[in-house]
Each structure stands twice: as C-alpha cells, then as structure tokens.
C-alpha cells in the first residue's frame, strides 16, 4: 500500500501545482502529503518490527526458525551458483561427460540474502548489548 502511495506522490504534486494557485500553499500541501506518507511508512515499519519480535520469541522452531531456514536456503543457492556449480562444470568438462547442470537465478536470491544480512546486523547489535535470545543453545 505504501509503495503505491509513493508511486502516486509525483502525480499528486503535479495536480497540486495545477490546482493550488498560491505557491506557498502548494508547497505546504506537498510537505504535508510527504509527512503523512513518511508517518505511514514509519508506522508500518514499527508494526513489522513488533511482529518480528513476537515471532522470534516463539518457542517453536517452525515459527521462530523461518529466518534461519531462509538463510540456509540462500546460503545453499549462493554456494551452488558461485562455488559448487563452477567446480562441477570444470570436472564435467575434464571428464567429457556432456551433462548440463542447473543454473540458479541469483537476482532474487541476492536481494533476499542482503535483506537477511541486514537483520543479521541487528542480531550482532543485540549480542553486543547482551540481550540476544539463547534458547537454541544446549
């Protein structure tokens, strides 16, 4: 929803320029609209943070383990694409096997990995403050 509103902001500012003759009033209307959009975006982010906290505190690995599972999938996909697949192609070329190995599209995988690593930075911050969750340790 916020993305849609952000994409409509340039159109709305052009409409304000045409409808509101006073330059100062038009500028104020644009600033108010930008403030409202920023406030809505911040509220959505805070709500997501609270949801993440609740999910991470859940005792079930199937709820709190979603991010680690996605991280392992990303690690496997990137490991295959950038380490194991090139070595396998080289070995297959040496043995003249003529087998085509799968190629993983890494564009979406990289954006997901980078987003998860951003959350990993937050985890490191928690560890530095001594407030990390330790219920997975034996």
Q: Where are the domains of the chain?
A: 1-56, 60-138
Per-residue model confidence as pLDDT tens digits over 79-128: 999 999 999 999 999 998 888 888 888 888 888 887 777 655 666 666 67
CA distance 7 to 3: 6
CA distance 1 to 5: 6
CA distance 88 to 30: 57
Range among 10-19, 48-57, 75-84, 116-125 rated most confident: 75-84
Could you tell me if 74 and 109 are in contact, meaning their C-beta atoms sit under 8 angstroms apart?
Answer: yes
């Amino acid at each position: 929803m916020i993305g849609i509103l952000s994409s409509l902001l340039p159109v709305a500012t052009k409409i304000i320029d045409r409808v509101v003759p006073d330059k100062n009033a038009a500028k104020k209307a644009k600033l108010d609209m930008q403030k409202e959009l920023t406030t809505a975006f911040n509220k959505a982010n805070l709500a997501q943070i609270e949801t993440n906290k609740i999910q991470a505190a859940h005792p079930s690995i199937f709820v709190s383990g979603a991010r680690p599972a996605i991280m392992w999938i990303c690690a496997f996909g990137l490991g295959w694409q950038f380490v194991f697949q090139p070595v396998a192609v080289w070995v297959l070329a040496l043995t003249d096997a003529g087998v085509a190995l799968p190629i993983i599209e890494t564009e979406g995988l990289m954006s997901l990995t980078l987003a998860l690593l951003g959350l990993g930075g937050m985890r490191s911050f928690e560890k530095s403050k001594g407030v990390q969750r330790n219920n997975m340790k034996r």
